[in-house]
Structure 1
Amino acid sequence: MTRYRELAPPPRTIMTPGPVEADPRVLRAMSYPMLGQFDPAFTALMNETMEMLRALFATANGWAYPVDGTSRSGLEAALAALIEPGERVLVPIFGRFGHLLHEIALRYGAEVSVIEQEWGRVFDPQQVIEAIDRVRPAVVALVHGETSTGQLQPLREIGAACRSRGVLLVVDAVATIGGVPVETDAWQLDAVVGGTQKCLSVPPGMAPLTYNDAAERKLLARRRIERGLRTPEGGEAQAARQIADAQAGMLPRERHIRSNYLDLSQLQDYWSPARLNHHTEMTSMLYGLREGVRLALEEGLAARHARHLLHGGALAAGLEAMGLQLYGERVSRLPVVACVRIPDGIDGEAVRALLLEQFGIEIASSFGPLKGMIWRIGTMGYSCSRRNVLLTLGALEAALLRHGLRLPAGEAVQTALQYYTRSEGI
Structure 2
Amino acid sequence: MGRITSCSKLIRQLTHTSRGFASSSAAAQSLGRPGEVVTNVTAPEGPSGVLHVPPRLLMGPGPANSHPRVLAAQTLPLLGHMHPPFFKIMDEIQQGLRYVFQTNSKHVLMVSGTGHAGMEACIANLLEPGETIVVGNNGIWGSRVCDLAERYQAKVVNLQKEPGQTYSKDDLSKALEEHKPAVLFLTQGESSTGTHQNLAGVGELCRKHGTLLLVDTVCSLGGVPLFSDAWEVDAIYSGSQKCLAAPPGGAPLFFGERAFEKLQSRKSKVASYYFDLNLVGDYWGWYDKRFYHHTGMTSTWYGMREALALVANEGLDNMWARHQAVADHLWAGLRELNLEPFVEKPEDRLITVNTIKIPEGVDPVALVTNAMEKYNLEISGGLGGTVGKVWRVGLMGYNAKMENVEMVLAAFRDGLKKQGRL
Output the TM-score relative to the length of structure 1: 0.86
Query: Match for residue 74 of structure 1?
Result: 118
| Aligned AA (2:259) | A
Aligned pair partner of 1:289 in 267, 281, 304:
304
For residues 159 and 98 of structure 1, the distance between their equivalents in structure 2, rounded to whole angstroms, comes to 18
Query: Match for residue 236 of structure 1?
Result: none
Deviations 1:266-325, CA, capped at 9 Å, x for gaps = 100111142111000000000011111110111000000000000011101111111112
Aligned pair partner of 1:39 in 65, 79, 83:
83
Task: Describe the SS at the equivalent of 2:420.
Answer: coil
For residues 174 and 343 of structure 1, the distance between their equivalents in structure 2, rounded to whole angstroms, comes to 29
Query: Match for residue 272 of structure 2?
Result: 259
Whether the 8 Å CA contact 2:140–2:385 is kept in 1: the answer is no
| Aligned AA (1:320) | R
Query: Match for residue 387 of structure 2?
Result: 371
What are the residue-to-residue correspondences of 1:189-338 with 2, within 5 Å? Answer: 189-222=233-266, 225-226=268-269, 258-272=271-285, 273-329=288-344, 330-338=346-354
Q: Tell me: CA distance 1:360–1:213, structure 2 relative to 1, closer, same or farther (3 Å).
A: same
Query: Match for residue 21 of structure 1?
Result: 65
Query: Match for residue 156 of structure 1?
Result: 200
Task: Describe the SS at the equivalent of 2:348.
Answer: coil
What are the residue-to-residue correspondences of 1:349-364 with 2, within 5 Å? Answer: 349-364=365-380
Structure 1 gaps of 5+ residues are 227-256, 408-426
Alpha-carbon offset, residue 165 of structure 1 = 2.1
Alpha-carbon offset, residue 331 of structure 1 = 2.1
Aligned pair partner of 2:229 in 151, 161, 185:
185
Whether the 8 Å CA contact 1:125–1:155 is kept in 2: the answer is no
For residues 108 and 80 of structure 1, the distance between their equivalents in structure 2, rounded to whole angstroms, comes to 7
RMSD between aligned residues: 1.3
Query: Match for residue 400 of structure 2?
Result: 384
| Aligned AA (1:43) | F
Q: Tell me: CA distance 1:394–1:225, structure 2 relative to 1, closer, same or farther (3 Å).
A: closer
Whether the 8 Å CA contact 1:311–1:385 is kept in 2: the answer is yes
Deviations 1:214-264, CA, capped at 9 Å, x for gaps = 211211222x743xxxxxxxxxxxxxxxxxxxxxxxxxxxxxx61111111
Alpha-carbon offset, residue 156 of structure 1 = 1.6
Query: Match for residue 393 of structure 1?
Result: 409
Q: Tell me: CA distance 1:341–1:225, structure 2 relative to 1, closer, same or farther (3 Å).
A: closer
Query: Match for residue 138 of structure 1?
Result: 182
| Aligned AA (2:123) | L
Give yes or no for the alignment of 1:125 onto 2:201: no
Structure 2 gaps of 5+ residues are 1-42
Whether the 8 Å CA contact 1:91–1:98 is kept in 2: the answer is yes
Whether the 8 Å CA contact 1:125–1:158 is kept in 2: the answer is yes
Q: Tell me: CA distance 1:263–1:2, structure 2 relative to 1, closer, same or farther (3 Å).
A: closer
For residues 283 and 57 of structure 1, the distance between their equivalents in structure 2, rounded to whole angstroms, comes to 22
Alpha-carbon offset, residue 404 of structure 1 = 2.1
Whether the 8 Å CA contact 1:316–1:338 is kept in 2: the answer is no
Deviations 1:96-139, CA, capped at 9 Å, x for gaps = 11111111111111111121222112111221111111111111
| Greater shift in the superposed pair: 18-27 or 394-403 | 394-403
| Aligned AA (1:11) | P
Identity %: 39
For residues 111 and 342 of structure 2, the distance between their equivalents in structure 1, rounded to whole angstroms, comes to 33
| Aligned AA (2:126) | L
For residues 95 and 325 of structure 1, the distance between their equivalents in structure 2, rounded to whole angstroms, comes to 20
Whether the 8 Å CA contact 2:129–2:152 is kept in 1: the answer is yes
Whether the 8 Å CA contact 2:249–2:300 is kept in 1: the answer is yes
Whether the 8 Å CA contact 1:312–1:337 is kept in 2: the answer is no
Query: Match for residue 424 of structure 1?
Result: none
Deviations 1:42-73, CA, capped at 9 Å, x for gaps = 11111111111111100011111100000000
Q: Tell me: CA distance 1:351–1:5, structure 2 relative to 1, closer, same or farther (3 Å).
A: farther
Task: Describe the SS at the equivalent of 2:265.
Answer: helix
Alpha-carbon offset, residue 355 of structure 1 = 0.6
For residues 243 and 50 of structure 2, the distance between their equivalents in structure 1, rounded to whole angstroms, comes to 30
Output the TM-score relative to the length of structure 2: 0.87
For residues 373 and 156 of structure 1, the distance between their equivalents in structure 2, rounded to whole angstroms, comes to 30
Query: Match for residue 107 of structure 2?
Result: 63
Q: Number of matched residues? A: 375
Alpha-carbon offset, residue 2 of structure 1 = 7.4
